[in-house]
Structure 1
């Protein structure tokens, strides 16, 4: 799965003037935003399991979203959501698990009980991790974000059979990588700080994840990410 794949053409996102697709016609659709880290998790999952022909990607413009999306598809009006078998499901980590359980392709949850248990522990921590990073932007970012990145460095040392959290690439890597991607870019650009400094396992992990085309095909434009962070989180500074 780590070999370079054919880059999927990114179709323009649907906007308030776009007609809806033929909803509930038997097509499985994954509604995403190209810039959303939560949607990116499910997009990576789809790609890694080789489901590009089974799950149609439907990008939405979150700044100018179509009214029919809330009315007819997903009342929460968020991404990601998955239209499958006549129903629509949401919440990124639930969808990662749902796709892993209900579609063909390599499993994203290891069968080893110790790894499975540690995986659940890491997944239960991911929201705390992201909150710590976003909070750090309001104070002394480099100092305050340190413990969050140290947590990853320590977690990556748990198993010695691969560069990923559970040895092999899994849903844990998928849960964390969109946020590490964004904060690595922002810390380098805005604060001139390398988040992998003194964290060799994190450096290796980032290097190895970037060899997986299922992930690299979902990466957002770095400039767009940095500009969005500056506008949304750093405007007051």
Structure 2
């Protein structure tokens, strides 16, 4: 007997009249009505695949705009001038260390490491500071044991010492190595640069909260408004301090990720009604030292979706994620701790 779905159940074809409360007409011979047999529908194991499919179909327009960002990025010309060494894994031998060579230990996908990488490139230190990339999902044990006990990236080996923290490393490289000075001598501009460095954490907190589905999205909007206002302080150039500086490098890796990711995940265009920010993004794409570190915006979208899609659709997953990270409810801590890069903490950015 054929069955047809009705309100999540299956109803036999011969009993459809009963289910629809139909009575035989007066000129027909009354029929014997048989109780309807309801066959429960099979329970779906998970809503995530269906939700993901619906979300994907509904976001075609946003994906098209992300593709536009990608096209603009490629048009700007991602540099491939430097041949990048492959990331070292747990199976890799310990390279030469403390032999007088300066080395930058990094992950190609870490925004904090990207800050220092950009600084190195913009100073023209490709030969003076060697890149030592690490696979943070399969990190070599010797890195913690013999190179940098905090076991984080970025870290710089220089003068037989290893130091860390991205903002400190940017300033250190600018002061200790030759090349263009990336902080101006003007006291007012240097003071404003320090203010921008200090505010970087709250900016990241606001945006990461939105990506996790936490907090008020108005806070994120205000954070980008603050960026627009900061770009309006000096009128002798399109950058934070007028001319290109470490202040721009501090924000570039995160803006590179947030612009396409927010457009895709939240349908939010960070440049809308923010002409200064739109110009800043365009001008940053002309900085060769930055272009050498950039990744395809589609890759950022894909990686952030992997990171946050389950959290958005499954609250219990977020509790587990916070538990593993050793955090409770702080989006900032969860985001900032990505520098520690355990497999769960990594943003795949």
Deviation of 1:194 after TM superposition, in Å, equals 1.5
Selected match of 2:261 from 164, 183, 186: 186
2:78, 2:294 within 8 Å by CA — same for their partners in 1?
no
Selected match of 2:161 from 87, 95, 111: 87
Summarize the alignment of residues 145-224 of structure 1 with structure 2, pairs less than 5 Å apart. 145-224=220-299
Deviation of 1:59 after TM superposition, in Å, equals 0.7
2:85 paired with 1:11? yes
TM, length-normalised to structure 2: 0.65
Selected match of 1:234 from 280, 292, 309: 309
Alpha-carbon distance in structure 1 between the residues aligned to 2:118 and 2:308: 26
2:256, 2:297 within 8 Å by CA — same for their partners in 1?
no
Deviation of 1:30 after TM superposition, in Å, equals 0.2
TM, length-normalised to structure 1: 0.94
Deviation of 1:21 after TM superposition, in Å, equals 1.1
Deviation of 1:7 after TM superposition, in Å, equals 1.8
- Aligned structure 1 segments of 4 or more residues deviating by more than 3 angstroms: 2-6, 139-144
Deviation of 1:225 after TM superposition, in Å, equals 1.8
Deviation of 1:233 after TM superposition, in Å, equals 2.7
Stretches of structure 2 lacking an aligned partner (at least 5 in a row): 1-75, 313-349
RMSD after superposition: 1.8
1:34, 1:40 within 8 Å by CA — same for their partners in 2?
yes
Alpha-carbon distance in structure 1 between the residues aligned to 2:185 and 2:249: 17
Stretches of structure 1 lacking an aligned partner (at least 5 in a row): none
1:134-188 Cα deviation digits (max 9, x unpaired): 1122237754420111010000000000000001111110111111111001012
Structure with greater contact order relative to length (CA < 8 Å, sep ≥ 6):
1
Name the CA shift for 1:222/1:235 in 2 (closer, same or farther; >3 Å). same
